[in-house]
């Protein structure tokens, strides 16, 4: 894929994220989101609540940081320093972009009457837990590169986990559906931007000088 196409995809993803965030602040979208949350609340049951709470706990910040560090250690030990740099940039960028979007959009949480688990004080868009869960897809994709079916299975499992975490955030009443969609766009945007930057000659030359990894692309 050419650098221009990568840059275009990055721009489209970023604009989609910003556009969704702006729409999420409108009454029309919030009204439909709230309708979904209330409908889901009507199907709650004890076992489902336990599963949702477990999924949310499994996508907490501490868990995400630990999994990222494990992935980085594995890559560094295997002397895949280029992939380690990509992983740190993509996942770290996703978390940073999520925080920026939360501050920029500043969307309120669903009504407290819907909460089964009191959320933190951070704004609602995008979902922080699901951003972390989506980031695990990137971890699986990069850390397991070259493992064939193992990588495919891990990426699929991480994708299912991210979808389940997103559903759990709506089920628990902590987020609107568009918050969850925003988390997917946040991680996708970060990954696409990092992918685009790898084509820049200055990035390749600097990386070659610092990382000295044989897997590095030839400097442009």
**Whether the Cβ atoms of residue 67 and residue 136 lie closer than 8 Å to each other:** yes
Region of residue 105 (left: phi > 0; alpha: psi -120 to 50; beta: else)? alpha
**Whether the Cβ atoms of residue 123 and residue 68 lie closer than 8 Å to each other:** no
Q: How confident is the model at residue 210 (pLDDT cuts 50, 70, 90)?
A: low
Q: Which of 44-48, 186-190, 194-198 has the lowest mean pLDDT?
A: 194-198
Neighbours of 123 (CB within 10 A): 19
- Asked if pLDDT for residue 5 goes beyond 80, the answer is yes
Kindly report, residue by residue over 138-169, the tens digit of the pLDDT. Answer: 999 999 998 899 999 999 999 999 999 999 99
DSSP class of residue 217 equals P
DSSP code per residue over 185-199: HHHHHHHHHHHHHTT
Q: Which of 16-25, 71-80, 202-211 has the lowest mean pLDDT?
A: 202-211
Would you give the distance in Å from CA 186 to the centre of its chain? 6
Both tokens of 181, joined, read: 């969609």
pLDDT value, residue 81: 86
Q: Is 23 helix (H, G, I), strand (E, B) or coil?
A: helix
**Whether the Cβ atoms of residue 86 and residue 198 lie closer than 8 Å to each other:** yes
Q: Tokens 């740099």 correspond to what residue?
A: 85
Burial class (CB in 10 A: 0-12, 13-18, 19+), 88: middle
Work out the average pLDDT over 187-198.
94
Work out the average pLDDT over 96-100.
97
- Asked if pLDDT for residue 125 goes beyond 60, the answer is yes
Calpha distance 178→76 (Å, rounded): 36
């Amino acid at each position: 894929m050419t650098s221009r196409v990568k840059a275009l995809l990055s721009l489209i993803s970023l604009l989609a994220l910003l556009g969704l965030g702006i729409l999420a602040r409108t009454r029309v979208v919030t009204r439909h989101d709230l309708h979904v949350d209330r409908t889901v609340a009507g199907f709650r049951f004890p076992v489902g609540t336990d599963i949702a709470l477990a999924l949310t706990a499994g996508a907490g910040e501490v868990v995400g940081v630990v999994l990222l560090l494990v992935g980085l250690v594995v890559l560094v030990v295997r002397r895949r320093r280029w992939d380690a740099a990509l992983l740190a940039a993509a996942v770290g960028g996703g978390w940073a972009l999520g925080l920026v979007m939360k501050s920029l959009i500043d969307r309120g949480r669903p009504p407290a009457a819907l909460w089964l688990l009191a959320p933190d004080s951070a704004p609602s868009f995008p979902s922080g837990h699901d951003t972390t869960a989506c980031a695990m897809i990137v971890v699986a994709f990069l850390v397991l590169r070259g493992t064939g079916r193992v990588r495919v299975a891990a990426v699929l499992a991480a994708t299912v986990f991210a979808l389940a975490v997103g559903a759990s955030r709506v089920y628990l009443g902590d987020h609107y559906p568009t918050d969850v969609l925003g988390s997917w766009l946040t991680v996708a945007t970060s990954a696409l931007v990092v992918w685009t930057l790898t084509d820049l000659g200055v990035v390749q030359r600097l990386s070659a000088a610092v990382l000295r990894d044989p897997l590095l692309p030839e400097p442009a």
